[in-house]
Chain A
Amino acid sequence: MTTTMRPRPGAVRPYEFPAVHRSVLANGVRVLVAPMPRLPLITVLALVDTGASRERPGEEGVAALTARTLTEGAAGLDGAALAARLEGLGTAIITEAEWDSSIAQFTATTDRIEAAFTLFAEVVRAPAFPARDVQRLRDERLAEITQQLAEPRGLADERFDGFLFSPAARYARAAAGTTHAVRGLDRDRVAAFHALTYRPASTTLVFVGDITSARAQKLAEAGFEGWGTSIGSGPPIAPVDAVRHAGRRTIVVAKVAAAQSELRVGHLGVPRAHPEYLTIVVMNAILGGLFSSRINLNLREKNAFTYGASSLFDWRRGAGPFVVSTAVKSDVSGRAVQEILAEIERMRDAPPTASELELATEYLAGVFPIRYESTAAVAAALARATIFGLGDEWFREYRQRIRAVTAAGVHAAARTHLDPAGVLVLAVGDPSVIDVPLRNAGIGDLTVVTADADPTEVPK
């Protein structure tokens, strides 16, 4: 059979990120509207500049519990009635709190937006927080923590942060809180956190979809203008990102008879506001961010140690972790860590090839429009941009700035921001199988801990 020539691309077609209209209500609530009229759908998102990083010591998890209980009653309806009313409109209000933000959002068809928005405004501004439901959702969080002890992936992520950061740093504890602190949460603490941090001046409303800025403005005013003015400035961000100590060390979290080892290798990363953000993103894509990255091709396609391996910088206002994650056959745990460390070293040794750089930058620039096909994805991007203080030009310039990253820049970023000598290696696996391979891998001191050992209470 005849073969065909490898085709060349056609003419590039223009893409513009949806234009954003901005306004501010009299009480300080900011309003962003991004029309995407393709389908009769609208996503509405309320972003509040509060999250786990603004919690006081001892009440870790209150931001998450507050977000989770927003929908448990408002506008004279209890949680069940509220859910029934919204779901009858074909929608649901989704809420979550992360390190730097708390978000409530829903997506509805255009004909149902007014009815759903009226309830939404009450949920964000004046939730009832019934004591029984606060307690129920607190208990669900406690159940989630218990279940996590049996789930190796989530356990590895959480324990990595726990052993990386100083016990005094907020990032050492799960964003949704640990058992000790969550047990102490109740209706009063949740209501107090809401009163203190859900304020007009810390709130941004985002409308994306088949909506004009005039219609969005009218909705925003009707729902939020009566929300009193802000008093004070809200709580400051807690110390979040202090680390324990530099130098390589290995922690094995014991899971007897584990079918595999969950591995995490990494160290402190950098804050999102770092001026070299895009260069670091490209560097990470080459190292472990893509399927075609060095770490994945090495561990999966060359050595067949794993189904997949990847690296990431966890972007937060404070410095989040840089971590390589994979799950490998237990008996190759030591060799897998050595290969990961070798790839981190290699990234520092020399600039990437032109081909590697082009693969990463063309991928990141190319998938940009693919990422933003949905109203919810655009709303989430505008929320992130707001939290991290990115201006309108960010989305306009993103692709050209990605393509402007150079091999020398990537090399410099690797030398500055990768630290193979200071990595924490954490494995969730069967110590009877992986202890010796990890000790023999020459990675540093090794400590075995039980799955339920709380790193913030273990001296290390």
Chain B
Amino acid sequence: MVKAMHLPVDEYRLSNGLHVVLSEDHATPVVAVNLWYHVGSANERAGRTGFAHLFEHMLFQGSAQVAANEHFELVQRAGGTCNGSTWLDRTNYHETLPAHQLEIALWLEADRMARLLPAMTQAKLDTQRDVVKNERRWSVDNQPYGTWWERLPALCFPESHPFHHSLIGSMEDLSAASLEDVAEFFRTYYTPDNAVLTIAGDFAAVEARAMVERHFGAIPRGTGHPPLGPTEVDDDFGEWRRAEVPDAVAAPRLFLAFRVPPAGTEPWYVASLLGAVLGTGDGSLLARTLVREQAMATAATAFTFDLTKGSDLLVLDVTGRPEVSGRLLEAAVVAVVDHLIETGVDTAAMDRARALIETSWMVSLQSATTRADRLSQFATYHGRAARVNEEMKRYAGLTPLALTTFARARLTPRHRASLLFVPSGAR
């Protein structure tokens, strides 16, 4: 491996608790601004599924000094791109611009962190509610297998668990969301002490620090927020959990999930690397066996949800050939897992997976947008953005024995949850 990647990291807190991360790099005149709020769908109260994401839409509807949709317009007029996204336990917002336009992004983010509510109206909420309902139709209801990403967490976490319910939300709960909900959510969670602000790319640290203080320094600290409900769960499901879903699809698709230790913990890296052994690249165990050798599947991958609280999920995702039955597909995937448990992980399989992770990590960090997002991620979840520079070391120390031991302990039948989509015959 070539010399380790090292991102410069300068992190500090404003007096209001805002965690600021600066990563200066003058390779190209581009700067990325990235804000993570430590709130997601897990923080929603009962009857308000989808609210964290609907709220993310409202953040683009203006603030005291910014008109509706002007956020996008000002960023694009400055020659930049922007967006936001909501996840189970965080929400992020980001702008990437030509270096000389840094301050407009900071000003836009600060105005909505400090002064969102004066711009909120019932009409804007109604519009965004309909936009989000259409987003739900587009990404979930009218897509083959589209419901997987609300069915799988529901299958893997108990009903009372913060990760159990739908992130995009039900139509009914979206309809129930009110302006009072917007105000309460904003005051509770969108506070500087619940956020990380990262600036990565071409800027001068002294200037950037002054800009951050100027725009964010006077925003008052929050008054605290209710703790997330309990996230601790057993390592296993007691017995194999199975759900079969007839859907308007042409081919079966299996999501085989396992609870694994929270993202960022030492054993999580074992689970992550084991996932890559199973499902990253054409040479992975699943792709080689099911796509190439047995010609039963058209695609086979593995991924983690990267959840840092209570438990993460490792998911094997395999789409069968149209002529293969769901049952046969499931048996074939399970046979690969069982075989891995029986024979263990060899050095070549582990080295292959790790080499792919190392290259894709470096490739992804070419982008200022990604660097800023990773820094915010580590600062939000682990309290220290600089941990980003230790990421590859954590993989480097793992052994085939550790992977084999983990597979034997955590991939057994009582640790499995299968979500199997099968063609319903409807088109």
Contacts and interface: CB of A to CB of B under 8 A. Distances in A.
Interface residues of A, number: 83
B218 interface: yes
A13 B99 contact: yes
Interface stretch (A38-46, A221-229, A337-345): A38-46
B202 interface: yes
Interface stretch (B84-92, B133-141, B151-159, B225-233): B133-141
A13 B29 contact: yes
A62 interface: no
Interface in B102-131: 102-104, 106-107, 110-111, 114-115, 126-128, 130-131
Contacts of B102: 10
A4 B214 contact: yes
B322 interface: yes
A153 B144 CA distance: 10
Interface in A300-357: 300-301, 304-307, 327-329
Contacts of B282: 71, 79, 83, 87, 92
Interface stretch (B261-269, B301-309, B352-360, B407-415): B352-360
A146 interface: yes
B186 to A, nearest CB: 14
A363 B74 CA distance: 10
Contact of A370 (B81, B135, B248): B81
A294 interface: no
Interface residues of B, number: 89
Contact of A359 (B64, B77, B427): B77
B160 interface: no
Contact of B362 (A39, A83, A86): A39
Contacts of A144: 298
A458 B358 CA distance: 51
Interface string A108-142: 11110000000000000000000001001001100
A383 to B, nearest CB: 18
A150 interface: yes
Contacts of A1: 114-115, 218-220
A359 B77 CA distance: 5
A369 B28 contact: yes
Interface stretch (B1-9, B38-46, B376-384, B395-403): B1-9
Nearest to A307: B135
Contacts of A153: 143
Given A13-B202, A107-B363, A327 B134 contact: yes
6 contacts: A41-B362, A111-B2, A149-B427, A260-B134, A369-B98, A373-B28
Interface of B: 1-3, 5, 27-30, 64-65, 68-69, 72-73, 76-81, 96-104, 106-107, 110-111, 114-115, 126-128, 130-135, 137-139, 141-144, 202, 211, 214-215, 218-220, 248-251, 281-283, 288, 291-293, 295, 298, 321-322, 348, 351-352, 355-356, 358-359, 362-363, 365-369, 426-427
Interface of A: 1-4, 6-15, 38-41, 71, 79-80, 83-84, 86-92, 107-111, 133, 136, 139-140, 143-144, 146-147, 149-153, 255-260, 262, 290-292, 297, 300-301, 304-307, 327-329, 358-359, 362-363, 365-367, 369-370, 372-376, 451
